[in-house]
Amino acid sequence: MAAAAAAGRTILAPNAELSAALFDALERAHRDAGDEIWPTPRIFDLSSWLREQHLQQQLTGRNSARLLSDIEERELWRNVVEGAALGRDFLDPAGAARAARRARRTLSEYNIPLQALERERSDEAAAFLGWNRAFEARCLELNCISADTLLADALPADAQSPSGAVDWIENPLWRPAARRWLERHGRMLLPEDAGAGAVSVFKAHAAADELAAMADWARRESSDERFRAWICVPDLNRRRAEIIDAFDAALAPQRFALGASGAAGYAVAGGTPLADYAPVRVALELLQASVGSVPFAQFSMLLRAPQLQGSDAEAGSVARLDVALRRRASSEADLTTWLDLAERVARSEELGTSPGVQRLRSAQQQLSQLQGAHRFSEWGVVWIAALETAPWAFRARWSSTEYQAAERLRELLATLASGDAVFGTHGRESAQRILRRALRETQFQAQTGVPRIWVSGQILDPFLNYDGLWVGNCSDEQWPPPTAPVALLPVRLQRQYGVVAAGADAQLAHARELQNRWQKRANHCVFSYADSAEGGLSSPSPLLPKSAPLAAAPTAAPQPHWHAMFESAPELQSFWDELAAPYPAGELARGVATLRAQSRCAFRGFAEARLDAQPLERPIPGFNERERGEIVHHALEHIWSVLRDATALAALHPIEQGRLLNAAAVYALEIVRKRRDPGKKWREREQARLLNLLGKWLDVERARAAFSVESLETNDQVASFAGLNFRVRIDRVDRLADGARVLLDYKTGAASADWRGERPDNPQLPIYALLRPDALVAVAYAKVNAAESGFVAESERSRIFPRSHDTKLEGMASFADLVNVWSRRLERIAGEFAAGHAEVAPTNKACNSCHLQGLCRVPAALEEADESHE
Ligand code: SF4
């Protein structure tokens, strides 16, 4: 092979993975020999070489037909299948297009004549033949050819032989058509047998153990710097993440350290969809956001995308803008509306101008320059300009992989642009759909060279010799592999023409052949298998050599990446820190919410009031629960500011009531709408719901003992406990006929007597009582909700509220005595807050309604403790 390359001959391999390995081997040989300069070896996979040959023919005018790119071919098949009536019923169009393309390739690779297929009478064959005719007609119309015709068309067998220049490696992977052509026109290069090396068999108890053992073997052996291994995991595509995890744990544990980088010393063949790489993902997000209505979650993700932020300070500022937007945003809007809102909110919250928002605005303006239907050559120019303005503005800080992924996207856009004749014109949405599909279907892997440990997913003869070779999945059920005929083509026909995967006998012979070759390719060859995940015991494939010894008992256990981090973590010291600095005297604490949180759990009080650990709002369609509560409060405030007492309520005529409730609903909705407007449709729905709810509520109030309203939604008052001041707003104060007072708090959700006990779940009513203790005989939640309206009260008198009795006042003789008890409790709770008490000590049900589990981690720890006791 080295001599052929040195003579400038072209060397052909059956696929790209093998050609890359051959290229690397030749380059390495030159370096090992101390060469400083050498001609680049001409090594290609057959398909790339044929494309190159076709291009040469076009340049010399010998062939005018244009070769379809991969994307063009996929889209053409898709159009053909979607446009055909026949066969639509039994496959989804995308799957059918893929299957049809593969079937056509198989016909050409195995020299199966179309006439043979025409003689078959299956629905699948008929559907395929129809699609194939339509595909060929489209190719003719466009003066294009597909890659599967290159071998026959670009270099027909009777043309002048290029055998003087072409060598090919002997390999079972060649399909019959290619092999025949190569035998006629090229010179075969045989592999160099290493001689039968040692063989062993390894059994694992689980698939994860099998991977861990492979990785550990590679780690141990590669302590010798010259060691090179080829490892085959046949189901690599399905288990890619697990494989990387296992090999990283053994060969690149540094990858799990924060900020660490560096070569891994191994590589996994194949790639992942280009659409998954960060610069491509954010490019797609921008393009998608530029069309139609965008949900808030999508806009928020784009706004906060790290690629859009020029610095950490910008990222922090945009995160604050996002929090503020969540309180004001509707659930969906177009990108222009989102950007307008973001600028308004940034101004009103005094966050300053956001460069990220401006970049998005510029990108969006560039995108909107092109309207209507256009060719990809036009769309591509606009897209690239927009990407460079916004998400690709900071390319200088990209990693090599990110840079390569973005370059691949540019190449792909250039490919789309060169296919204008095939694709025609498309509107923005349709063009973006095709681009998205192409990015998902294009596999990408950053160029890293061929390291010493190579993990392949292809069951093939690696041709080159290695120090070690390991093949997994060799149980009796997996080796030889089960048959997997090509869809749409009759199995009988496939067997007749030698499609290996179509027949059990062919698979068996192929497996024997490969196994024989593997044993000649390495000094040490390991075959492994694992018990099934369902707990079933597996047996080795009967093909494995009976005399092979079992490999040494594994020392490796599966090492998910957290395991490596755990192992390398330093020893930790425990330090209880439950006391924060005292709350600054004279500073206004937030209000009732602070004391409520502190009473439920000291850590919760500290985190919510002093760390400002608040849950993020999530804009939903319509009004959220908090807004609905506010609307009811405003509406009732309006109603009682008009009625003022029970007598006016009793005299209210139904028509007047309707007008009053309507006015109250309009008033309340207008207040909330000014801050966040979910739209007319939702306002109308809310208004109808509100009228019904308020009508029911007035019926509840009609059944009360006579009262008049003394005050409504008092402006913020200040309550002082333990030297701290808290803001308080009482919903309503009523006077009874004898002048006694009743304090009310509206609740639109569930409500219970949660103010009782040393650490009340909600000390809100006691706080009200301490602000207005004069002549006080009752406090109550007014439960205004559609499911159940009524009062939940603490009262020293019966029948103040419908069907109510006096309550036990927690054992106190009078309401005034109870208020004294509440005063002591609140002083203590506020005192703990003021002193900085922050111990994680929840009351019985406090964790159920708490959003801080991720911060305190107590519920998770309790669950773990429960499980360990079971
Ligand atoms: S989840 Fe429970 S323990 Fe943790 S802060 Fe909330 S109430 Fe306290």
CA–CA gap between residue 207 and residue 213 (Å, rounded): 10
- Average pLDDT over every residue of 8-16: 94
pLDDT at 857 > cutoff 70: yes
Spatial distance between the Cα atoms of 3 and 21, rounded to a whole number of angstroms? 17
Q: 838: Cβ below 6 Å to ligand 1?
A: no
Highest mean pLDDT among 579-593, 674-688, 704-718: 674-688
Q: How far is the CA of 574 from the centre of ligand 1 (A)?
A: 20
Atom of ligand 1 nearest to the CA of 853: 1
* 437, two tokens: 């599909």
Expressed in angstroms and rounded, the spacing between residue 761 Cα and the centre of ligand 1 is: 13
Share of residues in the chain with pLDDT > 70 (%): 93
Range 564-593 average pLDDT: 81
Among protein residues, the one with the nearest Cα to ligand 1's atom 7 is 847
Instruction: Please tell me the distance between residue 857's alpha carbon and the centre of ligand 1 in angstroms.
Output: 8
Atom number, ligand 1, closest to the C-alpha of residue 602: 8
Residue 535 token pair: 């707990």
Q: Give the pLDDT confidence score for residue 865 in this predicted structure.
A: 55
What's the average model confidence in pLDDT over 490-511?
96
Q: Where are the beta strands (DSSP E) in 254-377?
A: 266-268, 272-273, 294-295, 332-333
* pLDDT (tens digit per residue) in 846-856: 998 899 998 98
Residue 809 Cα to ligand 1 midpoint, Å, equals: 29
- Ligand 1 center to 852 CA (angstroms): 6
| Confidence at 553, pLDDT banded by 50, 70, 90 | low
Ligand 1 in reach of 613 Cβ (< 6 A): no
Query: How remote is the CA of residue 833 from the centroid of ligand 1, in Å?
Result: 15
pLDDT tens for residues 369-390? Answer: 999 999 999 999 999 999 999 9
Taking the C-alpha atoms of residue 515 and residue 552, their distance in angstroms, rounded to an integer, is: 21
Enclosing H/E stretch for 177: helix 176-185
Nearest to 392 by CA among 284, 470, 301, 489: 284
Say if residue 45's pLDDT is above 90: yes
pLDDT, residue 546, reads 84
| Nearest of 199, 256, 139 to residue 560 by alpha carbon | 256
Which region among 33-42, 440-449, 480-489 has the lowest average model confidence (pLDDT)?
A: 440-449
- How far is the centre of ligand 1, averaged over its atoms, from the C-alpha of 593 (Å)? 15
Distance 842 CA to ligand 1 centre (A): 6
Q: For ligand 1, say whether the CB of 46 is within 6 Å of any of its atoms.
A: no
Residue 549 is predicted with a pLDDT of 72
Cα 324 to averaged position of ligand 1 atoms, centre (Å): 25
Task: Determine contact, residues 79/423, Cβ cutoff 8 Å.
Answer: no
pLDDT for 163: 45
Distance CA 95, CA 128 (A): 13
3-state secondary structure of 776: strand
pLDDT at 156: 47
Radius of gyration of the chain (CA): 37
- To test the pocket of ligand 1, the residue of 578, 599, 603, 839 to mutate (highest count of ligand atoms within 8 Å of its CB) is 603
The residues near 367 (Cβ < 8 Å, ≥ 6 apart) are: 286, 287, 290, 382, 383, 386, 428
| Ligand 1 within 6 A of CB of 98 | no
Q: Which tokens go with 861?
A: 């720890």
Number of H helices and E strands in the chain, helices first, is 33, 24
Give the pLDDT band of residue 94 (cuts 50, 70, 90): confident
pTM of the model: 0.82
The arithmetic mean of pLDDT across residues 203-214, rounded, is 91
Mark out the alpha helices in 197-252 (DSSP H runs).
207-221, 236-251
Residue 600 Cβ < 6 Å to ligand 1: yes
844 Cβ below 6 A of ligand 1: no
Distance 846 CA to ligand 1 centre (A): 7
Residue nearest to atom 2 of ligand 1 (CA): 847
Whether residue 853 has its Cβ less than 6 Å from ligand 1: yes
CA of 757 to the centre of ligand 1 (A): 19
Q: Kindly tell me the burial class for residue 369, based on how many C-beta atoms sit within 10 Å of its own C-beta (0-12, 13-18, 19 or more).
A: exposed
Residue with tokens 């510029």: 362
State the Cα–Cα distance between residues 34 and 28, nearest whole angstrom: 10
CA distance 511 to 172: 11
The number of the ligand 1 atom at minimal distance from the alpha carbon of 607 is 5
Q: How sure is the predictor about 860, in pLDDT bands with cuts at 50, 70 and 90?
A: low
Question: What is the Å distance from ligand 1's center to 602 Cα?
Answer: 9
Distance 423 CA to ligand 1 centre (A): 58
Q: 3-class SS at 741?
A: strand
Between strands 588-589 and 332-333, the pairing is unpaired
Q: Say how many Å lie between the first and final Cα of the chain, rounded.
A: 65
Our mutation pick for probing the ligand 1 site, out of 837, 839, 853, counting the most ligand atoms within 8 A of Cβ, is 853
User: How far, in Å, is the centroid of ligand 1 from the Cα of 609?
Assistant: 14
pLDDT at residue number 88: 61
Q: Best mutation site among 852, 862, 863 for ligand 1, i.e. most ligand atoms within 8 A of its Cβ?
A: 852
843 CA: nearest ligand 1 atom: 7
Note the pLDDT of residue 864.
60
Q: Ligand 1 atom 5: the closest Cα is on which residue? A: 604
pLDDT higher than 90, residue 193: no
The pLDDT confidence band at residue 158, using thresholds 50, 70 and 90, is very low
How many angstroms separate the CA atoms of 461 and 230, rounded? 10
Name the pLDDT band for 255 (thresholds 50, 70, 90).
confident
| Percentage of the chain lying above the pLDDT 90 cut | 74
CB of 668 within 8 A of CB of 634? yes
DSSP 3-state of 469: strand
Pocket test for ligand 1, best of 600, 601, 863 (most atoms within 8 A of CB): 601
Is the pLDDT at 572 greater than 90? The verdict is no
Q: How many Å lie between the centroid of ligand 1 and the Cα of residue 166?
A: 73
Distance between Cα 597 and ligand 1 center (Å): 9
Pocket test for ligand 1, best of 606, 837, 840 (most atoms within 8 A of CB): 840
Q: What is the pLDDT of residue 773?
A: 94
What is 299-348 written as a DSSP string? HHHHHT-GGG-SSHHHHHHHHHHHHHHHHH--SEE-HHHHHHHHHHHHHH
Tens of pLDDT, residues 790-832: 999 999 998 899 887 788 999 999 999 999 999 999 999 999 9
What's the Cα-to-Cα distance from 545 to each of 284, 512, 524, 540, 548, rounded to whole Å?
52, 11, 14, 10, 5
CB of 359 within 6 A of ligand 1: the answer is no
Q: How confident is the model at residue 197 (pLDDT cuts 50, 70, 90)?
A: confident
Question: Which ranges of 390-535 does DSSP label H, i.e. alpha helix?
Answer: 400-418, 420-423, 428-441, 491-496, 504-521
pLDDT bracket for residue 844 (50, 70, 90): confident
Residues 6+ apart with CB under 8 A from 162: 155, 185, 186
Residue range 701-759, pLDDT digits in tens? 999 999 999 999 777 788 899 988 888 999 999 999 999 999 999 999 989 999 999 99
Whether the CB of 18 sits within 6 Å of ligand 1: no
Residue 268, ligand 1, Cβ within 6 A: no
Atom of ligand 1 nearest to the CA of 859: 1
Q: What is the pLDDT of residue 588?
A: 67
Average pLDDT over residues 188-212: 88
- Mutation test of ligand 1: which of 598, 604, 844 has the most ligand atoms closer than 8 Å to its C-beta? 604
The predicted pLDDT at position 160 comes to: 52
Cα(289) to ligand 1 centroid in Å equals 38
Q: For residue 786, what are its two tokens?
A: 């559609």
pLDDT (mean) for 36-63: 89
Segment 340-372, tens digit of pLDDT: 999 999 999 998 888 999 999 999 999 999 999
Q: 596 CB under 6 A from ligand 1?
A: no
- Distance from the alpha carbon of residue 611 to the mean position of ligand 1, in angstroms: 14
Contact 859 CB / ligand 1 (< 6 Å): yes
